[in-house]
Amino acid sequence: MVRIIPMASSIRPALSLFRFSDDVATTRFGLSLSPLHLPRRLLFSYLGSTVPHLQFFGMKASKMLRAERSRAGMPLVRNVVQASTAAAQETALEWVKKDKRRMFHVVYRVGDLDRTIKFYSECLGMKLLRKRDIPEERYTNAFLGYGPEDSHFVIELTYNYGVDKYDIGTAFGHFGIAVEDVAKTVELIKAKGGKVTREPGPVKGGTTVIAFVEDPDGYKFELIERGPTPEPLCQVMLRVGDLDRSINFYEKAFGMELLRTRDNPEYKYTIAMMGYGPEDKNAVLELTYNYGVTDYEKGNGYAQCILHMGTK
C-alpha cells in the first residue's frame, strides 16, 4: 500500500475528498492530489470548479442557461469553459514545477518495540526521532532514521498491544541501507548478536559489495557499500507479478521516474528502480520480477509506504 501526504500546494481540490489531521491532508482513496494524476471524472470536477459564476457576465444563471439553447449563446459558454480549463492546466503545471516529491515514511509492524529500537540504533546506526503512544487505540509508534523527518526517509514502527508476531509474507523483499564499509558493519552486527544471512561480497552480476542481515522480527536489510550519501535509508524492495504494469502504475499514479532496469536471465529475475531522483541521493523503490511468478503473499507485517507530495 502507498499512502500520500500532500503538503503545501497552490491547488485546492474539493475538501470533501480528503480527511485532515492537523495541517496534513490525506486523500480518502489514496489518490495523488496533482491534477495531472487525478482520475478523469475527478479531474473534470476540479476543472469545472474553476469556471466563473455566470452572474459575472451580468445576468443570472437561469437566464444564461436559457440563452445556451440559442446558437448565439453557445460560443460564449464554450469560450468560458475553454479559458477556465486552460487556466487550471497552467496552475497544475506550475504546481509540478514546484513539487518536491519524495519517499517519506515506510510503515511496518513489530512484536517488541524496545528490542527493535535497540537493534536499529546499535547495529544500524539509526536515531530514535520520536515516539508516540495511543492507548485508546492500543498501539505505539516509533520513528527512526538518519536525519529529521522533514528531509529524510524514515522508518515508522508500529507496535500493537499484545501482538508479538507477524507474517511478513513474500511480497515484501527488503530495505536498503547505504554504508561506507559493509564488512565492518557486518562485524558489528555479529558482535551485537544480529543475524547475517549473506556475507559481504559483490552483488550477482556486478561489482557493488553488499550483505544481508535480518532484524529481530525477520525483516531483511541489504547493506550496500557506497560513499557518503544524504539518504542512507535508500531502498524499499517489493516483488511484483507484472513488471511493466507496475512501472506504468508508479509512473502514472505517483509521478515516479524509471531510473533504470536490470535483467538477470542467469538468475531469472529483473529489477526496476523507481523514484524521484538519483539513487545515490534519494530513497528509491526497487521492484523485482521473478520469472514466471505472478502472485505473492502480502502478509500482515509490512504496512505501507508514505509519499510526500508538495512544494515545501
Going by pLDDT thresholds of 50, 70 and 90, the confidence category of residue 286 is very high
C-alpha cell at 178: 547505504
Span 140-198, pLDDT tens digits: 999 999 999 999 999 999 999 999 999 999 999 999 999 999 999 999 999 999 999 99
Write down the residue that cell numbers 495541517 correspond to: 23
More confident residue, 140 or 30: 140
> Catalytic site residues?
222
Is the pLDDT at 44 greater than 60? The verdict is no
In a domain, residue 148? The reply is yes
Q: Which residues contact 43 (CB under 8 A, 6 or more apart)?
A: 35
In a domain, residue 72? The reply is no
In a domain, residue 237? The reply is yes
Going by pLDDT thresholds of 50, 70 and 90, the confidence category of residue 231 is very high
The domain in which residue 143 lies consists of 102-307
Q: Is 174 annotated as a binding residue?
A: yes
In a domain, residue 56? The reply is no
Span 83-116, pLDDT tens digits: 666 666 666 556 555 667 889 899 999 999 999 9
**b/e per residue, 183-202, with b = 16+ CB within 10 A?**
eebbebbeeeebeeeeebee
Burial classification of residue 45, based on how many CB atoms lie within 10 Å of its CB (0-12 exposed, 13-18 middle, 19 or more buried): middle
In a domain, residue 82? The reply is no
C-alpha cell at 157: 514502527
Q: What is the pLDDT of residue 271?
A: 97
Q: Which own/partner pairs from 293-296 qualify as long-range (CB within 8 Å, at least 24 positions apart)?
A: 293/239, 293/241, 294/241, 294/242, 295/241, 296/169, 296/170, 296/171, 296/239, 296/240, 296/241
Of 12-21, 190-199, 302-311, where does mean pLDDT reach its minimum?
Answer: 12-21
Q: What is the pLDDT of residue 228?
A: 94
Instruction: State the average pLDDT over residues 44-69.
Output: 39
Average pLDDT score, the chain: 79
In a domain, residue 200? The reply is yes
In a domain, residue 28? The reply is no
Whichever domain contains 300, its CATH number is 3.10.180.10
Q: Is 308 annotated as a binding residue?
A: no
| End-to-end Cα spacing for the chain | 24
In a domain, residue 93? The reply is no
pLDDT exceeding 90 applies to what percent of the chain? 62
Of 55-59, 189-193, 273-277, 289-293, where does mean pLDDT reach its minimum?
Answer: 55-59
Q: Is 94 annotated as a binding residue?
A: no
Distance (Å) of CA 282 to CA 118, 177, 233: 25, 12, 9
How many structural domains comprise the chain?
1
Q: What is the pLDDT of residue 245?
A: 98
